[in-house]
Amino acid sequence: MEAIEESLILPGQREGELRRGGRYFRDALFALVLRAIAFGSTALVLGVILIIIIKGASAISIEFLTSPPTDGMTAGGIYPMIRGSLLLLFGTFIIVLPVGVLGGIFLAEYAGHGVFGRVMHACIASLAGTPSVIYGLFGLAVFVIMMEMGVSLLAGCLTLALFALPPIVFTTENAIRSVPETFIEAGMALGLSRSQVLRKIVLPHALPGILTGLILSSGRAAGETPPILLTAGIYYASGELAKGWQMLKQPVANLPYHLAEGYRQGGVIPEVIVWGTCLILTTLVLSINLGAIVIRLWTRRKQRW
């Protein structure tokens, strides 16, 4: 009976079944490779974080977080570095907030798909792929020397803002383009102008993506070493940081620069302080990422209400 059933199967059907079986095998193999890559990447990241925690946890204390360095940077805490990194982060965020959002709105709504729009996209994409050390050299040449700002907090914030600007522009553009076209058509049908649709419909729905891009890009910029080292960083300061607008004219100690100098001057700074600084910087970056995720979820949930 089985031999009769096999004889009734056409040759084309048998070949089709073999091809489908081959496709299923390739799909399963490809999915397995992707899972292995994802697992390996996750394990690598968790391993790096675990090593940093193990080596740096012994340095963490209230004194380490709230006191300045002492004994020629060989003891004490890293409070000035934490303060300087937060100032750079805040200054960068304030600068890129209007410029980056407006740039993304222009690309999404007004640049169009012609030659001008393609050229703008190409230029911003090139800037987004430029190494951070190039931005540091540009900030040194333009802000520090040409505009005579000197090595200062303001020069560092402007340089970091330039570095963070291209990703924020692209993030804003993508967030605006992700708004359903039906929402825009409904606004137009109600008699709203193009600017009113943008303000009242498009931007509120794109807000989660815009905020996420702003926070992540600003946090990434504040963790970069070359731009800060060339425009804003100082290794050791004996005086107090000035108050008010005078603060912008002074260089600031910061975590990336302190960490880089700690490894460059091997043996001068105790290794436990270097690892403690690394742990604090890692915690700051992870906290910024977590904050961006929480804000995105909160804004999306608020939109559903």
What pLDDT, on the 0 to 100 scale, is given for residue 239?
55
Q: Which of 168, 166, 164, 204 is nearest to 183 (CA)?
A: 204
Domain 62-304 fold: MetI-like fold (1.10.3720)
What pLDDT, on the 0 to 100 scale, is given for residue 2?
46
Find tokens 């690598």 and name the residue.
Answer: 44
Domain range annotation of the chain: 2-56, 62-304
Write the single-letter amino acid at 129. G
Digit-coded pLDDT (tens) for 256-305: 888 887 777 766 778 888 888 889 988 888 888 888 788 777 877 776 66
Regions of the chain with pLDDT less than 50:
1-6, 8, 10
What pLDDT, on the 0 to 100 scale, is given for residue 158?
92
Task: Using DSSP, state whether 269 is helix, strand or coil.
Answer: strand
What pLDDT, on the 0 to 100 scale, is given for residue 17?
58
**Beta strands per DSSP E along the chain:** 69-70, 75-76
Q: Could you give the C-alpha distances from 7 to 10, 15, 17, 18, 21, in angstroms and in order?
A: 8, 14, 15, 17, 20
State residue 233 phi and psi, 5-degree precision. Answer: -80, 145
What pLDDT, on the 0 to 100 scale, is given for residue 47?
92
What pLDDT, on the 0 to 100 scale, is given for residue 142?
93
21 burial level (CB within 10 Å; 0-12, 13-18, 19+): exposed
